[in-house]
Amino acid sequence: MISPGPLSFERAISAGLIACASAIVYLVVKGYRARLVFHRLRQQGMPMPPWNPILGHLLAVPPVMKVLPEDAQQPDAFEALCKAHEKKDADSIIYLDMWPFADPMMVICSPVLAVQACQEYDLPKPPILHAFFNPLAGGDNLFTMNGPEWKRSRALFNSGFSAGYVLQQTSHIVDEAEVYVETLREYARKKEMFSLDDVTCWYLMDVIGTVTLDSRLHSQRQFNPLASALRRQIRWHVLDNEWNLLIRWNPVRPFVQWYNNYQMNSYIAAELDKRYAEWTSDETAASSRSIIHLALAGYMAQQAQQKDQPRPKQLDRAFRDWATVQIRLFIFAGHDSTSSTICYCFYLLQSHPEALAKLRAEHDAVFGLDIAQTASKMRSQPHLLNNLPYTTAVIKESLRLFPPASAMRGGLPGVYLQDDKGNRYPTEGTNMWILHSAVQRNPHYWPDELAFRPERWLVKDTQDPLYPIKGGWRPFEHGPRNCLGQTLAMLDVKITLALTVREFDVRHAFEEWDRLHPTSKVKHVNGDRAYQTQSGGAHPADGYPCRVSLRH
């Protein structure tokens, strides 16, 4: 073996120095451009906290963080900044310079401006979203796509989420819900404290697995490689609000994420191959409108156009990779946000016994007094789930107070947002973060903005002060990029409440949890101990410790 000579060593050192110098120059140039954007915005009088030419708005963050829990979701901090620094003669919006942690940002807490960004202009999804979604979905997906590719993919999956077809899935959802109910019975008998969020996540994983893959995962009761890998990937996912550098730069993370990706991709690829083999041998197998079948239908349609070529015996690898990413996205989004919503429904109903009594009375009227017959009635008469106006109001009010996610859009040259006072806000060079929690609790637009009042959603008179403002409720977003699975999510929550609220008393155990985990740190947001933390989407703090008891 020939050892490297002095010249080779010097070349390696030189290459390393050049790489470091290039990185420094890149950071300096990009940082200068970011600061220049805000220098110009400041000259135009745009709303923002006190700005420093070197540190931007980084100094504005620590005072806010002192009054919030360490693990509170980022939107809570930015909502507090918006309230503290918005102009009195302007709508709820501020610009934030968080370089090098983020590109120039507009924080939007106004429904008027949110409607313009997402509906009137339908601004594109920015590249920054890839950093969040790629570890979970594995690549460019329906949520991050723009342009013709997004339109084609959206059109392909639309029919799988039509109201009529989703209602036909009631029986499948009830199957998984009955396993969830039995799990709650076991905890009631054992009289143990447990994490409601964790148990509910596994439950919704099984629900979305059925709808997406047309097969049962059984992850509530046994190990499933796909479900376990995805839940593990979420736990290892580092978000922007992680300040601990030992966690943020953990050298083990890339290897764990690679293994999780391998597990998920292998499982889904095998399902795709299995369904394709069934389809090619028996075309009657194509009657389902599950996500996996809709993806295959699009592939088969493309193959049919190539009339002079025989049907391939195996799936094209490029298609399999694309379909795997979309399926991973649906499984992540379909279980993560809905599980959180169910937990917050229980939390708010516990805190408002009069609302819980009305909910139970509505279920008695629709499903009958024998709660043992509820599941069978939903299977045989799924249309009964459309006769639950108060239940729907409870769910919508829970989503208003605790939305599981926010929206992000990218600005464009020449596009300005304008508030009702005539102020115009340039979007070029910024990412717009529409904070759903802040929009839906904005006191300028919502009477008793922090109060749980399901009656808001039963008001018919548009002049009533409680009547929700247009575009003010947006947990599923609005416009062309609204959530494809919102009908399924609402059905999931209705079925869950119908099978649980009359059989169980579900009570949070935060006081007990805090005695076992004493701390002097802040543990409330807006007076709520079940404040939202970031774990994939927004979830209740500390996994929502709770106890369940059987009602007599």
Burial class (CB in 10 A: 0-12, 13-18, 19+), 466: middle
Q: What secondary structure letter does DSSP report for 433? A: E
Percentage with pLDDT > 70 across the chain? 94
Of 411, 476, 410, 388, the closest CA to residue 440 belongs to: 476
Is the pLDDT at 527 greater than 70, yes or no?
Answer: yes
Distances (CA, A) of 281 to 129, 273, 290: 40, 12, 19
Q: What is the strand order of the sheet 504-508 is part of?
A: 194-195, 545-550, 504-508
Distance CA 402, CA 404 (A): 6
Lowest mean pLDDT among 189-193, 235-239, 302-306, 546-550: 302-306
Question: In angstroms, rounded to a whole number, what is the distance separating the alpha carbons of residues 270 and 311?
Answer: 19
Give the count of beta carbons closer than 10 Å to the beta carbon of residue 132.
Answer: 16
Query: What is the chain's percent helix, strand, coil content, to nearest 5?
Result: 55, 10, 35
pLDDT-based confidence at residue 9 (cuts at 50, 70, 90) = low
Would you say residue 243 has pLDDT above 70? Answer: no
- At residue 16 the predicted structure's pLDDT band, cuts being 50, 70 and 90, is confident
CATH class as words, domain 138-399+482-552: mainly alpha
Query: What confidence tens digit (pLDDT) does each residue in 419-431 have?
Result: 999 999 999 999 9
pLDDT classification of 288: cutoffs 50, 70, 90: confident
Calculate the average pLDDT of the chain.
92
**Per-residue model confidence (pLDDT) at position 101:** 84
Q: What is the pLDDT of residue 10?
A: 72
Q: What CA–CA distance (Å, rounded) separates 257 from 135?
A: 7
Between CA 498 and CA 505, with CA 501 as vertex, the angle to 5 degrees is: 165
Tell me the mean pLDDT in the region 106-135. Answer: 95
pLDDT band at 34 (very low <50, low <70, confident <90, very high): confident
- Residue 110: predicted pLDDT: 96
Report the Cα 464 to chain-centroid distance in Å.
31
Identity of residue 489: A
Angle between helices 129-137 and 317-351 (to 10 degrees): 100
Give per-residue pLDDT as tens, 347-371.
999 999 999 999 999 999 999 999 9
pLDDT beyond 90 at 249:
no
Position 489 scores a pLDDT of 97
Residues in Cβ contact with 516 at an 8 Å cutoff, skipping those fewer than 6 apart: none
Mean pLDDT lowest among 178-187, 308-317, 468-477: 308-317
Give pTM, 2 decimals.
0.93
Mean pLDDT, rounded, for 524-541: 95
Reported as a pLDDT band with limits 50, 70 and 90, residue 283 is: low
Q: Which pLDDT score, from 0 to 100, does residue 99 have?
A: 87
- Token pair of 498 as six digits: 């119908």
Residue 107 near residue 93 (C-beta atoms within 8 A) = yes
Residue of 293, 320, 338, 282 lying closest to 160 (CA atoms): 293
| Residue numbering of the annotated binding site | 483
Instruction: State phi, psi for 124 to the nearest 5 degrees.
Output: -75, 160
Mean pLDDT across 385-392: 98
Answer yes or no: are the C-beta atoms of 506 and 546 closer than 8 Å: yes
Binding residues for heme: 483
Question: Containing H/E element for 107?
Answer: strand 105-108
Across the range 72-86, mean pLDDT stands at 93
User: Domain coordinates of the chain in residue numbers?
Assistant: 33-132+406-474, 138-399+482-552
Which candidate, 328, 333, 339, places its Cα nearest to that of 292?
A: 328
Q: Residue 169: helix, strand or coil by DSSP?
A: coil
Phi, psi (degrees; rounded to nearest 5) at 333 = -65, -35
Confidence of residue 11 (pLDDT cuts 50, 70, 90): confident
Question: What is the percentage of the chain residues whose pLDDT exceeds 90?
Answer: 80
